[in-house]
Amino acid sequence: MADRLNLSYWLRGFSPMNMTRHFDKMLSNFPFSPQNPSHTVLRVQAISSSEPALREHEFPDPVDVEAISIVMKEEAGTDSCLQIDGFWGLWQFDKDWTLRPAPVSLFCYGPEFEGYELSDGTRENLRIEFGLESHFLVQPDLPDSTYFVQSNLKGLLQLAHTLDEALAVEKRTLWSESGENFADKFKAFLQ
């Protein structure tokens, strides 16, 4: 089974006072898909990742980042996690390659929120979960896989570059659920 692909950010000066401002920058620069199979949802979770969501707010297409920002500023707390479940366009194979909305989740972790430590013990501030890493690895059994996967990778790398410029990045890492560095996994896959 394929791992999920994540991009984590640690930001300089991240605090309870500016966490929603940083998340706003991420959301404003994210290329949400304009037409989706379901609404974009803001989930607010308190204390720990083992707790159920306190509240959920649905937003219709197209995604209105300003409307989401207003609600999340009211909901954010030092011990909360803000999660946006939405969609972005990826090339996907189902009898043929088509550009379709793919699920994506964006997270902002309050400094006192528990349970989001990575395998190395560090605590990130922002994360994007891109879904299955198979969308970003060449699949030799599928026709023209190299071309379409390269397009998906270019989109991901362009987003990372855009976010690097918009955010006060101290550190970032692209990783798989297994804890492996995705760049290393990609290089091994190419050999």
Residuewise pLDDT in 10s, the chain (191 residues): 578 999 999 999 999 899 999 999 999 999 999 888 899 999 998 876 767 788 899 999 889 999 999 999 888 888 899 999 999 999 999 999 999 999 999 999 998 888 666 667 778 999 999 999 989 988 889 999 999 999 999 999 999 999 999 999 999 988 888 876 677 766 665 55
Name the H helices within 39-170.
65-75, 145-166
Q: Which domain holds residue 130?
A: 4-190
Its pTM stands at 0.91
How is residue 186 written in tokens? Answer: 């990609």
What is the number of domains present in the chain?
1
